[in-house]
Structure 1
Amino acid sequence: MKLKFLGTAAAEGIPAIFCSCETCKISHELGGKNLRKRSSFLLDDKIMIDFTNDILHYVHAYQLDLSVLEHLLITHSHSDHFNIFDLEMKLNWFTNPDHKPLNIYANEACIQRVKDIPEVEDWESIGMKERLHFHPVRRWQEFFIEDYKITPLAANHITSYEGEHSCIYVIERDGKRILYAMDSGWYPDETWDYLERHKFDCLMLDCTGALLQRQGVGNHMTLEENIKVAERLKKSGSIHEGTILVSTHFSHNGHVVYDRDQDEFLQNGFIMSYDGLEIEI
């Protein structure tokens, strides 16, 4: 599997849009890997996870050809993970009419958000039904995207829609198994039960709080909590010596700067992600 981190920040980005905190100032001055766009991920150039407000930047920066993208997997409805308005760029008058439809795998709340876009009053007459194919995702109900087995697990994350369930994803192919777990605090018991019964080749964990000392608080994790996740899964035999551990989805409020802090992550067994990071497993 080829893993590519298109963006590695929380909703604000780093430097954040309206912020002049010390972390944002340092990141701006240093540039390079210290600059972070909102989190999105590409698997084997075939499956994109989350569609952020920075999607156009990804197209330009990584020379992505999204006209050939067929599969988009969404974790939840927050706008930094599901930018519904740029999906309008699939309409006939915005793009080449000959490209393939985009399959979107998401919970019902996400799907309804797209259908409620004010500009899309008549879904069928403007051609959106042919361009976007929706596949409802439900926790614990595994499904396949081509030869990739996808299992949605329960995240610990509050959303804006009543009854919506955020997901983290286990993805398997050719004997490899990875976990993509953005926007989740400490996992619910049923998620732990699943994780402790399976072996993983790579864990990609939410680290929004980064260097904060606030274990067990909120809908996100810190490096301290990432370490505790790894310790627990090591005890259960779910991760092994060769398992790749990645911390990602950073907020400036976590006071993290790549050039300054990457060694602290490495010393604890984690790769500190950056925009454009590629990993082969």
Structure 2
Amino acid sequence: MKLAATSLLTVSHNSLGINHTNAKSEKGIAIRFLGTGAADWNGRDERGELRRLTSILVDRHILIDFTPTTEDMLPVDCHPDIIFYTHSHNDHYNPTAALKAGVKRVYLSQTWYDIAKVDFDQAAKALNMPSPLITPVYTGQQIKIENLAITPLPANHATEYITEQALIYLIEKQNTRLLYATDTGGIPALATRISGIDAHQKGSPITALIMEATMGMNCEADFRLFTHSSVALVERTVRVLKETKRYLPPAGQPVYITHLARTLHGTQADLDTHLPAPLRAAYDGLEVIFYPNHFDPSSQT
């Protein structure tokens, strides 16, 4: 199948009749981690730790994945209207939660569009709400939303639907290029090629990275290695990207890991102490602005 690598889909908020008053960065990409846990989290654990299921909020109006566990993490004055899904697993995908949050436009892989259309129509009917506009996207297709460009890339992850292609996303604003990679076992070769960070270096380097580390440290033998990443794999990925100048972050900017399995990771305090630099464990409610490589955050007004 021919890749839609040069295709472009442009979205105007004016066409939706929506106005936003977002406290967001004009130069960087603002991320709020709504949840940072893998599927084995179900409330507070025996250690007193709590991780909601993995989801992020981008520039205060775009969700990537969303479930009922993260509803309380949305800012009170925030009403996201767009959602991108990585895949159909129920720790990432819940149409009822998305509709209740105010989502009116949905993007997901064309490989499971028909399934999602039925799910959302049923959820909308049960809530007595209009169905959102669901747009199928293709690997390599760039979607323009205001000053953001979001490109779906193939993930190494499997679902119950044998033909479904799970996705990771490249999020760009001006010279900031953030790779958001969950759920996935490493970064597939095709994803590096489309994003321009493969061996040929045809594109710009990424300047920020959020990557799943479902498996903790010293858990390389875990069965999840076929569809998820470990701390060691993330560390090795970062080292290779930096040494080959395909990852050029601003000085001191961490690589954030997310989608942490309850049974394979220590507490947040343990992770803060023992994670190898530049890795840092994200936590629910963490807010980060990712800037271009040479941007001075003190100049942001």
TM over 0.5: yes
Q: How does 1:99-178 map to 2 (within 5 A)?
A: 102-117=104-119, 120=122, 128-129=130-131, 132-178=132-178
Q: Indicate conservation of the 8 Å contact 2:158/2:227, yes or no.
A: yes
Letter paired with 2:36:
T
Q: CA RMSD in A?
A: 2.6
Amino acid at match of 1:43: V
Structure 2 residue matching 1:113: 3-state secondary structure:
helix
Deviation at 1:254, TM superposition (A): 1.2
TM-score for the superposition, normalised by structure 1? 0.80
Residue aligned with 2:72, SS = helix
Pick which of 163-172 and 140-149 moved more. Answer: 140-149
- Cross-structure match for 1:6: 34
The SS at the match of 1:214 is: coil
Q: In the TM superposition, what is the alpha-carbon distance from 1:153 to its structure 2 partner?
A: 1.0
**Counterparts in 2 of 1:122 and 1:260: CA distance versus 1, 3 Å:** closer
Say how many residue pairs are matched. 250
Query: Over residues 111-161 of structure 1, what are the superposed CA-to-partner deviations in whole Å (9 max), with x where a residue is unaligned?
Result: 4334333982997xx6534xx011111111222122211111110000111
Structure-to-structure mapping, 1:42-57, within 5 angstroms: 42-57=57-72
Distance 1:53 1:234, change over 3 A: same
Distance (whole Å) between structure 2 residues aligned to residue 262 and residue 138 of structure 1: 37
Identity %: 26
Give the counterpart of 2:85 among 70, 74, 96. 74
Preserved CA contact (<8 Å) 1:181 1:206: yes
Residue aligning to 1:83? 94
Q: State the TM-score, normalizing by the size of structure 2.
A: 0.75
Unaligned runs of 5+ in 2: 1-28, 291-301
Secondary structure in 2 matching 1:171 = strand
Gaps spanning 5+ residues in structure 1: where? 29-33, 91-98
Question: Do 1:9 and 1:38's aligned partners in 2 also have CA atoms closer than 8 Å?
Answer: yes
Q: For 1:74 and 1:268, locate their aligned partners in 2 and report how far apart those are by CA, in whole Å.
A: 29
C-alpha separation between the residues in 2 aligned to 1:70 and 1:236?
38
Once residues 70 and 122 of structure 1 are traced to their aligned partners in structure 2, the CA distance between those partners, rounded to angstroms, is 15
Aligned partners of 2:184 and 2:249: how far apart in 1? 25
CA distance in 2, matches of 1:118, 1:42: 20
**Would the aligned equivalents of 1:7 and 1:276 in 2 still touch at CA under 8 Å?**
yes
Out of 205, 209, 218, the residue aligned to residue 199 of structure 1 is 205
* Structure 2 Cα separation of the partners of residues 102 and 224 of structure 1: 39
Q: Provide the rounded CA distance (Å) in 1 between the counterparts of 2:100 and 2:58.
A: 22
Runs (4+) off by over 6 Å: none
Q: Deviations over 1:12-33 (max 9, x none)?
A: 22xx45x9xxxx322x1xxxxx
What secondary structure is seen at the aligned counterpart in 2 of 1:161? coil
Give the aligned residue type for 1:208. T
